[in-house]
Amino acid sequence: MPAYRLSAGSALPAGGTLAARWKPVLEPELAALAAADLVVDLRSGSYAALGRVPGAVTVTVLAERPDGTRSVVSHFNKAHKGRLARVLASTRAEPSDAAAVAAIARRAGMRVERRGNAVEVIVPA
């Protein structure tokens, strides 16, 4: 069975990459959305590279080991980001920045840290 989707790093049969095709189309649309509302970008790095969102709150999931070292979560990344998405979608609050997104996540019992417009969800390894 042929692949049903293209990964973000795919090279296209006609030449060029997926990013080269999508970026000029996506970025103006994403910028227009971001100008009107807060965008919480839950995409992985490779998909985020297909079209940046100016001013978006970006989310990364990090696993923390008992010794305090951290690494990016890959396997359960979507599950943790999905939990954050559910929390944000079900709150009556309307966050306007990364600090408000982090505060909502904390109230839901999630462990998060904020660095500028980036929110890091910290989970046990």
pLDDT in tens, 60-94: 999 999 999 999 998 899 999 999 999 999 999 99
Q: Is pLDDT above 90 for 121?
A: yes
Q: Is pLDDT above 90 for 16?
A: no
In a domain, 45, yes or no: yes
Domain extent, residue 101, equals 38-124
Distance CA 58, CA 54 (A): 10
In a domain, 27, yes or no: no
Pairing of strands 70-72, 57-64: antiparallel
In a domain, 57, yes or no: yes
**Mean of pLDDT values over 23-44:** 96
Number of domains, the chain? 1
In a domain, 51, yes or no: yes
In a domain, 107, yes or no: yes
Distance CA 21, CA 68 (A): 41
How does the average pLDDT of the chain come out, rounded? 94
In a domain, 48, yes or no: yes
**Mean of pLDDT values over 107-114:** 98
Predicted pLDDT at 76: 94
Share of the chain above pLDDT 90, in %: 78
In a domain, 26, yes or no: no
- Residues 64, 70, 75, 76, CA torsion sign: positive
Per-residue confidence at 12, pLDDT binned at 50, 70, 90?
A: confident
Read off the pTM: 0.89
